[in-house]
A and B are shown apart, each in its own frame.
Chain A
Amino acid sequence: MTDPLVIFDLLLALGIVALAIASLSVRDRFAMIVLFIVFGLFSALAWVRLSAPDVALAEAAIGTGVTGALLLKTLHHLRFVESRTAITEAACAPVPLGVLLANAAFCGLITLGLAVAFLGAPSAGPGFDALVAEAMPASGVDHPVTGVLLNFRAYDTLMEVVVLLAAVIAVWQIERGLSDAPAPAMGEVWQGFARLVLPAIVVIGTYLLWVGAEAPGGAFQGGAVLAAVGLLLLLTRAYVPRPEHRGIARGAFVLGTGTFALVALMVAGGGRVAFEYPLDHAKTLILLIEGMVTISIAVTLAALFHGREPVALPKGGRDDT
């Protein structure tokens, strides 16, 4: 008797593979992005089946939600530029069929080799679960993933926040002086929707951050949900970035990295290894870092969506593009 969940797993796996193929082969680029978003949500569902709710939340919020918004924004910009000039999508010469087939054959061989390695790998070898379970009482939190992210492997997480900071610096530099596509006009329904949904998103994001200490959730998932507030505010034009807000934005970008590094340095100054939080204050310190990192992530993701650094226009008009 087969487990009905195995049938569900098989159908979901088939759906994921089909969506991946469909999103890369569909001609229309808008359909491609929508199919990719559905693909990401299906993957998140698969990770819930593999008992990884934290990863599923992060993928749904950041990997699919924010990435999808970034892709749609870029598509809007590309279509705007294409509409003004004669440039079309397929401006470059098509790749010869032989090259395509050779590439596909090599990719197939690589994938086949990986699959053979995966099937031949020893199953259920000893992982880090025993070590983590043993050290959990010293971490200051009850949820293993949060413990690993903010305590045992805090260097990784610090570097991750630095990568996010580097990305926003790079985007501001790349887009310097770039004229933006006009934002599409949003209807009245949209404004009402935003008014209803914004408070709920703020509560959900803060809840995800708070609950991360003992259950799935945490700074990254909460930050991404709060970034959705920024996206909605930007789209409904309830908030219009102005040049004089740049200082505040820069402060928010470095807030997470700064707090994180400062705590590590202060802990190290007390005669301990960096990130070896004193047990009595571990939870407070972790929550402090997580809170600041959440603010940074939310502002940074919203800034990545907005793209261009807000600058004063030379003609003296409103800078609200």
Chain B
Amino acid sequence: MTPDLIYGLTGMAVFGIGLVGALCAQDRLRRVLALKLCSVGAAFVLVVGAWREPPGAPDPVPHALVITGIVVMVSATAVALALIRRLQTLEAEDDA
């Protein structure tokens, strides 16, 4: 049992949970959150791929890719949340 095996499988599980949430959730906010879980799961696998047995230093390239991914994900989340806010306001106006 090494950390890479444990956390690699954790990443897979988190990705799967996020996928189920993104497909099955009704609430829009919950769907966005589920997609964010998917991205964390994918990041887990990349970080695990960069890991080396303790004396060895980890591979910095996947780390840089994950940091880029985190920033891109927050941008995408912000746009998605703005669309949700707008959509709900429009629905409320239609109802009124």
User: Which A residues form the contact surface with B (CB < 8 A)?
Assistant: 2, 5-6, 9-10, 13, 16-17, 20-21, 23-24, 29, 32-33, 36, 39-40, 43, 46-47, 49-52, 54-55, 58-59, 62-63, 66-67, 70-71, 73-75, 77-78, 81-82, 84-87, 89-92, 94-95, 100, 103-104, 106-108, 110-111, 114-115, 118, 123-124, 127-129, 132-133, 144-145, 147-149, 152-153, 156-157, 160, 163-164, 166-168, 170-171, 174-175, 178-179, 220, 297, 301, 304, 307
Contacts and interface: CB of A to CB of B under 8 A. Distances in A.
Nearest to A127: B59
B20 A107 contact: yes
Given A128-B61, A129-B60, A160 B72 contact: yes
Interface in B57-84: 57-68, 70-79, 81-84
Contacts of B1: 2, 6, 9-10
Contacts of A132: 59-61
Max count, chain A CB within 10 A of own CB: residue among B40, B44, B49, B73: B40
Contacts of B40: 39-40, 43, 59, 63
Contacts of A114: 12, 15-16
Contacts of B8: 118
Given A24-B30, A174-B79, A86 B95 contact: yes
Nearest to A216: B63
Interface of B is mostly: helix
Given A103-B20, A301-B74, A178 B67 contact: no
A74 B85 contact: yes
Contacts of A23: 33, 37
Contacts of A77: 85, 88
B74 to A, nearest CB: 5
A227 to B, nearest CB: 10
Contacts of A10: 1, 6
A163 B71 contact: yes
Given A115-B9, A148-B64, A24 B75 contact: no
A167 B76 contact: yes
B30 A29 contact: yes
A170 B61 CA distance: 30
B16 A108 contact: yes
Contact of B19 (A17, A46, A50, A107): A107
Contacts of B72: 160, 163
A16 B61 contact: no
Contacts of B83: 174
Contacts of A127: 49-50, 59, 61-62
Given A6-B1, A144-B60, A110 B75 contact: no
A52 B58 contact: yes
A51 B33 contact: no
A237 B51 CA distance: 44
B78 A70 contact: yes
B36 A129 contact: no
A70 B84 CA distance: 12
A127 B95 CA distance: 57
Contact of A52 (B21, B47, B53, B86): B47
Given A6-B1, A157-B68, A129 B59 contact: yes
A59 B59 contact: no
Interface string B1-28: 1011011111011111111110111110
Contacts of A124: 52-53
The 5 A-B residue pairs with the shortest CB-CB distance, nearest first, are: A111-B16, A167-B75, A144-B60, A127-B59, A304-B78
Given A9-B6, A36-B36, A145 B64 contact: yes
B78 A171 contact: yes
A253 to B, nearest CB: 12
